[in-house]
Structure 1
Amino acid sequence: MSVLDKYLPHLAVAPLTALLEQYHVHLKIVDERKTRHGDYRKNPDGSHAITINANLNTYRFLITLVHEIAHLVAFQKYGRLIKPHGAEWKHTFQQFMLPFLRPDIFPNDLLPVLARHFKSPKASSDTDAMMSVALKSYDPETDKSYIFELQQGSIFLGPSGKKFQKGNKLRKRYRCVEIISGKVYLFQPNAQVEVLKV
């Protein structure tokens, strides 16, 4: 329990420890992976493993951990042939998150955003731009900006280190052109990038 105290809001530690014990989960906290916040897998011996990035703020850590526990429980309850982020997983995730959506666990400014998100949770909290921005406000300060904050025509470094120029907004994402190749890429509005002075 003392290890989780470092990563979770205090009142979430005991119930999440109980869930990990109930489902016999080996939790591994790892260095940051750019492509995911966490993952679940069933080991060949039948045991369960969840890995979570160590650099997440306490609220994102909680949501990610419950997200992965929901995978385990949905697969157990509905079988391995369900879609990983289909209706069964969404329902399970909602049920497991509900007890944590309280003002003594989450700050008041996050609760309405979380309530909206959990009406139909996404495969990744990062694809819900409103929730992603709200959660990132609890991360340490950074010199990066969100794509949606940049002026059209701004030059920036993407996560891969390539230079891009911001273009117009399509339905949800921004059309950006890689400077060297001229290739077009679509960026989520909540992507964090480093603006370059021209």
Structure 2
Amino acid sequence: MSDTLAKYIPEHAVKPVFDLIVANQVHLKIVNERQTRHGDYRRGPSGKHEITVNASLNKYRFMITLIHEIAHLVAFEKFGRNIKPHGNEWKFTFQRLMVPFIRPEIFPSQILPLLARHFKNPSASSDTDTTLSLALKQFDTDNDKSYVFEIPFGSVFRIKNGKVFKKLAVRTKRFECIEISSGKTYLFNPNAEVELMD
């Protein structure tokens, strides 16, 4: 298992993460990319703790996602199953598990201050922290996608589900775009990945 982990997370994190997996009796499955989530935790019918993480994530996002899911398991075990999935108990647990990994041997120096800020009050998804999300995306493998913040106003683009939009305006932190087929207006986070159309 530690050999497999070494392919997906930073080298200096392999042993402590492996120890976390063993200590919490996690059955880890690395799966093909899902559009809607980076990972998930569930307790199987047999009582086994099952965590899945997308294989396509870069090693830093994979690491954050894995610890995020282990935090669900640990929080449920410690505080009971009736807590909110991303409530205070989970935030406290996620902070406690993640802080020992926020070190220069594990994460690049440009990400460390962003992680430190994010983990003062972690959100349900690191994608909602635009600055951190964009910093993490620079370590993704190259693709033909653009971010909605970098395409010109008036541009037409497609998102993962095939829907086509036109970028209209900026509203505080998000971008107002109109869906071409329905005429409905949607707001996009700046770090939304889109495919620019000619």
- Mapped partners of 1:47, 1:180: distance in 2: 45
Task: Map 1:1-198 onto structure 2 (within 5 A).
Answer: 1-197=2-198
Quote the offset at 1:172 in angstroms. Answer: 2.7
Q: Which runs of 4+ in 1 moved over 6 A?
A: none
Q: Deviations over 1:84-113 (max 9, x none)?
A: 001110010001001100000000011011
Q: Deviations over 1:40-81 (max 9, x none)?
A: 001122110000000010000100000000000001111111
Quote the offset at 1:152 in angstroms. Answer: 1.6
- Mapped partners of 1:159, 1:174: distance in 2: 17
Aligned AA for 1:18?
D
- Mapped partners of 2:123, 2:172: distance in 1: 18
Tell which deviates more after alignment, 25-34 or 155-164. Answer: 155-164
Q: 5+ residue gaps in structure 1?
A: none
| Secondary structure in structure 2 of the residue aligned to 1:72 | helix
Tell which deviates more after alignment, 145-154 or 90-99. Answer: 145-154
- Mapped partners of 1:99, 1:15: distance in 2: 9
> What is the aligned residue count?
197
Quote the offset at 1:123 in angstroms. Answer: 0.4
- Mapped partners of 1:52, 1:180: distance in 2: 34
Aligned AA for 2:161?
S
Aligned AA for 1:25?
V
Q: What is the root-mean-square deviation of aligned Cα atoms in Å? A: 0.9
| Secondary structure in structure 1 of the residue aligned to 2:85 | coil
The alignment-based identity, stated in percent, is: 60
Quote the offset at 1:185 in angstroms. Answer: 1.6
Q: Deviations over 1:168-194 (max 9, x none)?
A: 122332111011221112211100111
- Mapped partners of 2:90, 2:172: distance in 1: 27
Q: Deviations over 1:128-147 (max 9, x none)?
A: 11111000000011221111
Aligned AA for 2:88?
A
- Mapped partners of 2:145, 2:55: distance in 1: 20
Aligned AA for 2:50?
A
- The TM-score with structure 1 as length reference comes to 0.97
| Secondary structure in structure 2 of the residue aligned to 1:91 | helix
- Mapped partners of 2:195, 2:20: distance in 1: 39
- Mapped partners of 1:61, 1:157: distance in 2: 26
- Mapped partners of 2:31, 2:6: distance in 1: 16
| Secondary structure in structure 1 of the residue aligned to 2:166 | strand
